[in-house]
C-alpha cells in the first residue's frame, strides 16, 4: 500500500538500508526492575534477529518455554536493538552460564535484575532510534533538514510499517484466512500475530482514506471540493455544505477532525468522542490530544456520526480480538542530526511513542516509500 503523507516536497534522494551498523533501536522502559520477585528483567542487545527468533534461541539454550519469556514489543530484525525481556528467576544461573553461547547467536545480556512480574506487550514508553542516511548530497541534506524541522512541529501520520506485514507483505491475508476458517494455526501466538496484522491492514486503509480526505480539504476550495467528493455516504451532504468545509479548512493542523472522531489524550490517556470540533482542534494543535483509528475487536470504542461513516468500512466485526484505538497522528521527539559532507552521510537520532515505526517516520521525511 502506497502511503500518503502531508509534506509535499519532492522525494529526497539518498540510500538507507536497515543494518546493524546503520539502524539502532533502544527500548524506553515503562518501569525499572524493583530488585525482588519471581522474574528477571533482562536487558539484551540483539543483532540481525527478530524478536521471535531471539525468543526461540533463548528457549532452546536455557530450556525455558517460550511462553514464559515476556517482552514489551517486537523489534526490527535488520538492526542492532536493545530491548527488555523477562524470564523466570529460576533460570538466572543458567542465563549467567550461557552468556558466551548466546553472544555467538547474536544476543548479548547487558543487565539482569529481579522483578515482580512478567513483562507484557505494551509495557514500554517508546523507542529511541539512530539511522544513517547515505549518498546524500548537500542539496538533498538541506531538504532533509528543512523537513525534519517541519516534522518536529507538525507530527506525522502513524501508519503501521511494512515490516508489520511480513517479508512478502501478505501476513494480513493469512490473518483474514484464519477468520474465514480457511487456515488453522497450532501456534496460538502466531495466529494472534497474523490476526493483528489484519487489524493493522484495516487501520492503514482507514488512515490512507482519511489522509486523502485531508489533502482534498487542504488543497481544494469549497466549490472544487463539492465537485470531487463522491462515494462518502453521509459525508457527501456534509462536505457539500460550504460552511462546514470552511470550518474544516480553518483547522490549523493537516489532519482535519470530524464530529464523532475518537480522540485520545496524548501521549497516553483516555479516549473520548469529539463533539466540539473547534475546541478539540485547538488542543490537537497543541499536541494535547490526537485522533485515533480503530484496531477492530470486541471492546472497540467506535466513532460516531460523520466519522463513523468512514470508519465502518474498515471494521471487520468477525475479529474477536480485544480491540482498541491507535493514534492516527504522533509527534517525533528528541530529534538531532549531523550531516557529514565529506562522506555524504547524515546521522539522525529521534524517539517515538510505542507502536510507532521509525521506517514510517523516514517515509514521511523522505516523502517516498521506504526501501
Q: What stretches of 219-360 adopt beta strand conformation (E)?
A: 262-265, 271-273, 289-295, 324-327, 329-330, 333-340, 345-353
Q: Cell 538500508, residue?
A: 17
| Class of residue 112 by CB neighbours under 10 A (exposed 0-12, middle 13-18, buried 19+) | middle
Query: Residue 120 corresponds to which cell in the numbers above?
Result: 507484557
Closest CA to 274 of 296, 305, 298, 297: 305
Distance CA 184, CA 365 (A): 40
Are 87 and 68 in contact by the 8 Å Cβ rule? The answer is yes
Name the catalytic one among 22, 76, 162, 261. Answer: 76
* CA 90 vs CA 61, 71, 93, 95: distances in Å: 14, 18, 8, 10
Region at 233 (left for phi over 0; alpha for psi -120 to 50; beta for the rest): left
Q: For the chain, give me the number of helices (H) and strands (E)?
A: 12, 14
**Coil, strand or helix at 46:** strand
Which alpha helices (H) appear in the chain, and where do they start and end? 51-62, 92-97, 99-104, 138-154, 171-179, 188-219, 222-228, 234-239, 242-250, 277-285, 305-311, 358-366
Mark whether 168 is an active-site residue.
no
Preceding peptide of 314 cis, ω within 30°? no
Are 349 and 335 in contact by the 8 Å Cβ rule? The answer is yes
Distance CA 67, CA 139 (A): 50
Indicate which residues carry an active-site annotation.
Answer: 76
Amino acid at each position: 500500500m502506497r502511503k500518503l503523507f502531508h509534506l509535499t516536497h519532492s522525494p529526497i534522494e539518498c540510500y538507507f538500508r536497515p543494518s546493524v551498523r546503520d539502524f539502532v533501536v533502544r527500548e524506553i522502559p515503562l518501569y525499572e526492575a524493583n530488585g525482588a520477585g519471581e522474574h528477571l528483567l533482562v536487558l539484551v542487545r540483539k543483532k540481525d534477529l527478530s524478536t521471535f527468533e531471539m525468543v526461540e534461541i533463548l528457549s532452546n539454550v536455557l530450556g525455558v518455554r517460550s511462553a514464559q519469556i515476556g517482552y514489551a514489543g517486537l523489534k526490527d530484525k535488520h538492526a542492532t536493538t536493545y530491548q527488555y525481556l523477562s524470564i523466570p528467576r529460576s533460570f538466572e544461573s543458567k542465563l549467567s552460564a550461557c552468556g558466551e553461547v548466546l553472544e555467538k547467536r547474536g544476543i548479548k545480556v547487558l543487565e539482569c535484575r529481579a522483578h515482580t512480574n512478567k513483562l507484557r506487550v505494551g509495557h514500554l514508553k517508546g523507542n529511541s532510534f539512530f539511522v544513517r542516511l547515505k549518498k546524500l548530497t548537500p542539496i538533498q541534506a538541506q531538504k532533509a533538514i528543512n523537513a525534519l524541522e517541519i516534522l518536529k512541529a507538525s507530527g506525522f501520520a502513524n501508519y503501521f510499517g511494512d515490516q508489520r506485514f511480513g517479508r512478502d507483505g501478505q501476513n494480513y491475508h493469512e490473518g483474514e484466512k484464519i477468520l474465514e476458517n480457511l487456515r488453522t494455526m497450532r501456534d496460538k501466538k502466531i495466529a494472534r500475530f497474523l490476526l493483528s496484522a489484519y487489524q493493522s491492514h484495516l487501520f492503514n486503509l482507514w488512515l490512507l482514506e482519511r489522509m486523502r480526505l485531508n489533502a482534498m480539504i487542504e488543497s481544494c476550495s469549497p466549490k472544487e471540493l463539492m465537485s470531487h467528493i463522491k462515494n462518502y455516504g453521509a459525508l457527501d451532504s456534509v462536505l457539500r455544505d460550504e460552511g462546514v468545509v470552511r470550518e474544516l479548512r480553518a483547522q490549523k493542523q493537516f489532519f482535519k477532525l470530524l464530529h464523532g472522531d475518537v480522540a485520545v489524550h496524548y501521549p497516553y490517556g483516555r479516549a473520548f468522542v469529539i463533539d466540539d470540533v473547534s475546541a478539540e482542534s485547538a488542543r490537537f494543535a497543541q499536541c494535547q490530544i490526537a485522533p485515533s483509528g480503530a484496531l477492530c475487536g470486541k471492546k472497540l470504542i467506535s466513532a460516531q456520526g460523520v466519522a463513523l461513516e468512514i470508519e465502518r468500512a474498515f471494521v471487520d466485526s468477525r475479529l474477536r480480538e480485544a480491540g482498541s484505538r491507535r493514534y492516527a497522528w504522533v509527534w517525533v521527539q528528541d530529534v538531532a542530526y549531523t550531516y557529514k559532507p565529506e562522506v555524504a552521510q547524515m546521522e539522525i537520532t529521534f524517539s517515538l511513542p510505542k507502536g510507532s515505526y521509525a521506517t514510517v517516520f523516514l517515509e514521511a521525511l523522505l516523502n517516498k516509500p521506504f526501501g
